[in-house]
Amino acid sequence: MRIILVGYEGHMGHEVRASAARTPEAEIVMGVDPMIPEDTVECVRSFQACAAEADAVIDFSHHSLTRALLDFARTRGLPVVLATTGQTEEEKRLIEEAAGEIPVFLAANYSLGIAVLKDLVQRALALYPDAEVEILEEHHDRKLDAPSGTALALFGAVKEIRPEARAVTGRSGMGKRQPEDVGIHAVRMGGTVGKHSVMIGTQNETLTLTHQAWSRGVFADGSLKAARFLIGKGPGLYDMKDLLREE
């Protein structure tokens, strides 16, 4: 499986390279990273300069590259594993459009544990129809977007069960909590890889479901699994639920 890796020199870029080195069938054939000072044999600064033959693209760069990345993948007919977070509404629209032509995998979190957490949250909510729900996410101090894409995806899982749910971020000022509110709280500190908790509470008890990633390797391994999953698939938008069904 030959991979073009976008965001080659970033923290996650290094993790994907390490994960590919541990995976016999995976090979990073070229990197793309606009922030490097000059093109090298391993990595180029633009998609135009990337001529390598490949089976899939994995993107751990920045959401602002989404348009250029999708144009490149569509022109080459390559499946794309999109792992950046913080996409704008326009970028989300472009992703949907591209998925009509090529296979696109989109997940805010490539760890298996988060997919299981979403499932557990939905099952718990079915048992606690009136409970209050709050989401707490913690990340390293370099993270650009808040709340995390994973926290928003967890909110999406809540909303599937409770369509009336309303995300409340950065709560402050006067006014009490409304029943449909789901508070989303972001902590930024030190080197935390990623911790997500969903609190489901009544007046008498609180159930807290927590996932903690200890190493970024978990996201890298998951992105390679997603790339393997996409190869040979038809156009469409795929996510971790689809991957779990095949695991």
Ligand X SMILES: NC(=O)c1ccc[n+]([C@@H]2O[C@H](COP(=O)([O-])OP(=O)(O)OC[C@H]3O[C@@H](n4cnc5c(N)ncnc54)[C@H](O)[C@@H]3O)[C@@H](O)[C@H]2O)c1
Our CB check for ligand X shows the closer of 106 and 133 to be 106
- The single residue of 139, 185, 211, 225 carrying the catalytic annotation is 139
Q: In terms of Cα–Cα distance, which of 60, 58, 92 is closest to 72? A: 58
Quote helix, strand, coil % in the chain, to nearest 5. 35, 25, 40
**CA of residue 93 relative to chain centroid, distance:** 16
Reply yes or no on whether 139 is catalytic: yes
Tell me the closest approach of the beta carbon of residue 230 to ligand X, in angstroms. 15
Q: In the complex with ligand X, which residue's Cβ is closer, 44 or 108?
A: 108
Annotated catalytic residue, options 14, 62, 140, 143: 143
Q: Is there a contact between 152 and 182 (Cβ–Cβ < 8 Å)?
A: no
**Strands in the chain per DSSP E:** 2-6, 27-32, 43-44, 56-59, 80-82, 103-106, 132-139, 166-169, 181-188, 194-201, 206-213, 236-238
Judged by CB, which is closer to ligand X: 72, or 110? 110
Q: Which residues of the chain form contacts with ligand X (CB under 6 A)?
A: 7, 9-13, 33-35, 60-62, 64-65, 83-86, 107-110, 219
Please say which residue, 152 or 200, places its beta carbon nearer to ligand X: 152
> Closest CB to ligand X belongs to which residue?
10
3-class SS at 7? coil
Minimum distance from residue 100 beta carbon to ligand X (Å): 22
Active-site residues, by number, are 139, 143
